[in-house]
Amino acid sequence: MSKLRKLRLNLTIVNTAVLIGLLIFCTVFIYLSLNMSSDSDIANSLEIYCAQLAGNLDYLEATDKNASQWDETRTSFQVFNDGLAKNNTSYVVWNEKMEVVDSSKQSIIEDAQLLNLIKRYASEHHDDYWVVNYQKEDQKAKICTYPVLTKNGELKTIQVIKNMNGEISSMNNTLNMLILMVIIGGVISVVCGYLLSGHSLMPVEESMDRQQEFLANASHELRTPIAVIRTNLEVVQGDPEGTVKSQEEWLRNAYEETRRMQQIVEDLMFLARADAGEVHGMPEPVDMVFLSQEVIERMLPVAAQKQIMLDWDMPDHPLVIMGDESQLTQLLIIFIDNAIKYSNSGTEIRIIGELVGRQVNLRIKDQGIGIAPQDQDKIFNRFYRVDKARSRAEGGTGLGLSIAQWIVQKHKGVLSVESEEGNGTTMTVTFPLAEQTNGDDEHEGNAI
């Protein structure tokens, strides 16, 4: 299994474990809170029922409940009683001799059990309302016991009994729903976690692929000069009597290849350090007019060797940008060097600088071999060369434009190419003009 696939599985497992843990925590929390709040709600309503029954004791004890004096009480008690029935609640009222004074019909607890509770109430010194849970086999109930001293000094005990089976089954349904949610959440988390981790690992995968390709290309690029050096030195070795003069051609070939290798290694090192974020430039105001003229002067002999005219077209005022001077010099060298490499003798290269709004625009325009439209996007890829043989013959490494692109991006610039096969290429680079500040520049000192 590849490392990335293992990482993807691990991420999925960790995601799922965290999500399931959270869901279980929420489920337990919701279940316990619901349970507790419904428990205390029921206890409260049982106490209220007891109080209402206590207020109706005269009526409950009356021998003739149909007498006209009870008309009003009878009606309201009937409503109260219906409410109790709807709520699966019943009541029993006891006198001092532990005889039932009145009770609703559907009490689910035997009288003996209720009397036991009254005894416990007396022996355990409870005050006021006493609510207990009662369970026998499948039967679950909540019972509130409440003793009342009537006006004529008699002790009556009221018990209100709530059948809890309905509530318990609805709590169980809620619990089942929550468990189902945890299971569904877990499944969704596994699927989404796997898909999302795959998606978020895509850039890592791409970068690993690019790195592998880069490594393969780099080793291939280095193998070629090594093979050339070896072959040339083998020829020299095969003629032990030969002098340096007579072996000059082979030795020069080997020497040229070492210079090529050195260039490749230097470019590779630069890109590796750039990728690792280790190339830091110190920004300072750089006049691109002055810098371009300096670089052009340095490149004049190279152009002259190929009978190429190198000319510039610059404004008579400075074009100042914030940047690292040595990186900007390297950038101009890459463009001018490429223009020379891919132009034939008798042509001209112009470096044009101008201010466009708040942007400094630099164009390196040659009349060289040009770049086919399908290659124009690819030339910034590492080791991409339109014509490998020509690039090699001209001492190219295939890394110049990758380095150029990195430098332009670091300077918040934009790089574009315009080219026509056989008619030449224009490389355009645009940088933001440096802000005019009095004294210290605010960017100064921040590494690029």
Q: Which is nearer to ligand ADP, 42 or 218 (CB)?
A: 218
Q: What angle do CA 120, 123, 129 make, to 5 degrees?
A: 60
Compute the distance between CA of residue 272 and CA of residue 45 in angstroms, rounded to an integer: 76
Q: Which is nearer to ligand ADP, 49 or 342 (CB)?
A: 342
State the residues that interact with ligand ADP by CB under 6 A. 338-339, 341-342, 366, 368-371, 379, 384-387, 391, 396-402, 425
CB of residue 213 to ligand ADP, shortest distance in Å: 15
CB of residue 369 to ligand ADP, shortest distance in Å: 5
CB of residue 396 to ligand ADP, shortest distance in Å: 3
Compute the distance between CA of residue 121 and CA of residue 119 in angstroms, rounded to an integer: 5
DSSP state of 399: -
Q: Which is nearer to ligand ADP, 142 or 260 (CB)?
A: 260
CB of residue 212 to ligand ADP, shortest distance in Å: 20
Q: Containing H/E element for 145?
A: strand 139-149
Compute the distance between CA of residue 398 and CA of residue 264 in angstroms, rounded to an integer: 9
CB within 8 Å of 401: residues ≥ 6 apart: 334, 338, 379, 380
Q: Specify the residue for token string 């009606």.
A: 75
Record the tokens describing residue 111, joined without a space.
């009288």
Q: Note the residue count of the chain.
A: 448
Q: Are 157 and 147 within 8 A, CB to CB?
A: yes
CB of residue 301 to ligand ADP, shortest distance in Å: 19
Q: Are 428 and 416 within 8 A, CB to CB?
A: yes
Q: Which is nearer to ligand ADP, 193 or 396 (CB)?
A: 396
CB of residue 326 to ligand ADP, shortest distance in Å: 18
Q: Which is nearer to ligand ADP, 396 or 413 (CB)?
A: 396
